[in-house]
Amino acid sequence: MSLNKVERNIIYQGKAKILYSCSNPSNLIQYFKDDATANNAEKHSIILSKGIINNFISEYLMKSLEIKGIPTHFIKRLNEREQLIKKVKIIPVELVVRNLAAGSIIKRYGINEGIKFSEPLIEFFYKNDSLNDPLLNEQHIEEFGWSDNNEIKLMKKEALRINKILIKIFDNAGIDLVDFKIEFGHCFNKKNEKQIILADEISPDNCRLWDKETKKILDKDIFRKNLGNLISGYQEVADRLGVKIN
């Protein structure tokens, strides 16, 4: 798909992706960068081909969720780094679904890494880098006007559905889905009805993934913790999922 200069206006630039306008005002182009960041971008590197691998993995997982009835912003992959997506107004709340204890929850509550929760935990964070994405409760979300009670219930329900689907996908690949972060946004369907859909991406950048037997880390914690070659870990995830990078 060729894009002219008008169509390449930057709408948003994040740590790992750029969103461009395109000829259809209802859609956007999502570009996957090679930037790797940690600790709210305090640590930053360019890791060649990271964005390519994430693009292909996210395509595969978004398609898999769509097949199971989860509405997403994904339309199609355009090339090795870009996707055509639906334009959404992002709700500034990140949902983290935790199956096993890892990351910030360990430090916050002094629990041991790897503990399996009796039920998946859902945490909310305010999507704001300048404030270090603070933890929220549902009353915060309603009080500050970011979403209402019905939408919060829907997002939680969808997050748990997504979790079940992803657990099965990764389990078949010999991988434990430890936790993952997702975002939702508003858009209008073909009947011009407002709906909430899954946005952003699903990749090793925003999932914690451990080998089921060895507990080898296969996600961005490789970069966060200086554990070795990030691309090797991401490529292993793609290979196990049967995702062909071309």
Per-residue pLDDT tens over the stretch 2-43: 444 445 799 999 999 999 999 999 999 999 999 999 987 789
Q: Whole-prediction pTM value?
A: 0.94
Mean pLDDT of the chain: 95
Q: Tell me, rounded to whole angstroms, the distance of Cα 235 from its chain centroid.
A: 17
Per-residue pLDDT tens over the stretch 47-65: 999 999 999 999 999 999 9
- Least confident range of 1-10, 16-25, 143-152, 160-169: 1-10
- Least confident range of 4-18, 128-142, 164-178: 4-18
Q: Which domains does the chain have, with CATH numbers?
A: 6-86 (3.30.200.20), 90-228 (3.30.470.20)
Tokens of 23: 């000829």
Residue 154: φ, ψ to 5°: -65, -45
For residue 17, the model assigns a pLDDT of 97
Determine what percent of the chain is predicted with pLDDT higher than 70. Answer: 97
Q: Buried b vs exposed e over 194-233: b needs ≥16 C-beta within 10 Å?
A: eebbbbbbbbbbbbbbbbeeeeebbbbbbbbeeeeebbeb
State mean pLDDT over 86-106.
98
